[in-house]
């Protein structure tokens, strides 16, 4: 595993811990915590296991011979879930 992969995983966990701290201190209302939790879990899964998920995605869809997704793209999608879902949820709740 590369150094950038380790840094990405550590930063992902730190962001998730920050979300959990916000939820436990009451900054996130219960109706916001659910969607943010889903985004957090999906994001962490994509960040922590990009090779496995990228390889598994080639078996879905109309063509079974689709090329494997690069781990970088899968991890980037994880970061979009981890950082984007909370922003969208908070903006839509106002």
CA proximity to 54, closest of 73, 40, 28? 73
Please write the tens of the pLDDT for every residue from 55-81: 776 666 666 555 667 889 889 999 999
Between the alpha carbon of residue 69 and those of residues 20, 42, 79, the distances in Å are 30, 17, 16
Per-residue pLDDT of the chain (94 residues; tens, 9 = 90+): 789 889 999 999 999 999 889 888 888 787 888 888 899 999 999 999 998 887 776 666 666 555 667 889 889 999 999 999 988 988 888 7
Name the pTM for this structure: 0.82
Sequence spans of domains, the chain: 3-93
């Amino acid at each position: 595993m590369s150094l950038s992969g380790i840094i990405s995983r550590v930063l992902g966990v730190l962001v998730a811990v920050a979300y959990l701290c916000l939820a436990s201190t009451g900054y996130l209302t219960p109706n916001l915590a659910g969607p943010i939790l889903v985004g957090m879990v999906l994001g962490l899964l994509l960040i922590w296991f990009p090779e496995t998920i990228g390889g598994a995605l080639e078996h879905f869809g109309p063509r079974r011979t689709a090329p494997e997704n690069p781990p970088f793209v899968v991890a980037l999608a994880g970061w979009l879930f981890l950082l984007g879902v909370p922003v969208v949820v908070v903006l839509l709740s106002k």
